Chain A
Amino acid sequence: EVQLVQSGAEVKKPGESLKISCKASGYSFPTSWIGWVRQVPGKGLEWMGIIYPADSETRYSPSFQGQVTISVDKSISTAYLHWSSLKASDTAMYYCARRLERITIFGDITRWFDPWGQGTQVTVSP
């Protein structure tokens, strides 16, 4: 079974660092992009960025560039989301997801995300 299992909930203080994880199983980890998504309480989903485990090529949404770092450890099929200095506004649920793709009827590539991790709640409070 293909699955992504995320690390548990975290409670941190502003200014602290944090790294949360997303462990993949059931497929070839290096050859599928893994993305991260934020959901602030009561709000929709925000795209953060994506990484290709085979070579660690990473692309960030402009809103999150410089705010977080996405990385992987291929040896243990795990992706990470890291903050060096948390803010209260980082309080949210975070999801990882595997990207899939195929050729459309028009000859170009379409992409979607499956599966998703169960989510990691991050709470930042003084």
Chain B
Amino acid sequence: DIQMTQSPPSLSASVGDRVTITCRASHNISIKLNWYQHKPGKGPKVLIYAASTLQSGVPSRFSGGGSGTDFTLTISNLQPEDFATYFCQQSYSTPQYTFGQGTKLEIK
């Protein structure tokens, strides 16, 4: 199984800040890495797929990078609606689409 390690587990930031969340895969997964935003009471929402491709309709302040085993999600100019939990997911080893443990982004 491919293990996904996400850091940090939680993060405090202010509106207007720039934050970066990292995700490390236990094996080379090429660019087969997705990022999701999850808010209480709702299903997760895809932000980025294939490591750096922005899903249609997602604001450009979200960006993704990396390949192989190390990946990042960066949110620039944080907005109030961005405070949520973020998950990475690998799609290299199908059908075991394993997730990172999540990063909870809170308002400072």
Measuring CB to CB, which residues of chain A are less than 8 angstroms from any residue of chain B? 4, 35, 44-47, 49-50, 59-62, 95, 97, 100, 102, 104-106, 108, 110-119
Contacts and interface: CB of A to CB of B under 8 A. Distances in A.
A97 B44 CA distance: 9
Interface string B29-61: 011101010000111111001100001000000
B100 A111 contact: no
Interface stretch (B11-19, B20-28, B70-78, B89-97): B89-97
Given A47-B97, A49-B95, A61-B96, A95 B44 contact: yes
Interface of B: 30-32, 34, 36, 41-46, 49-50, 55, 87, 89, 91, 94-102
Nearest to A101: B91
Contact of A45 (B49, B50, B55, B99): B99
Contact of A35 (B36, B50, B97, B100): B97
Enumerate the 4 nearest inter-chain pairs by beta-carbon distance, A residue then B residue, closest first.
Answer: A116-B43, A112-B49, A59-B95, A45-B99
Nearest to A111: B91
A106 to B, nearest CB: 6
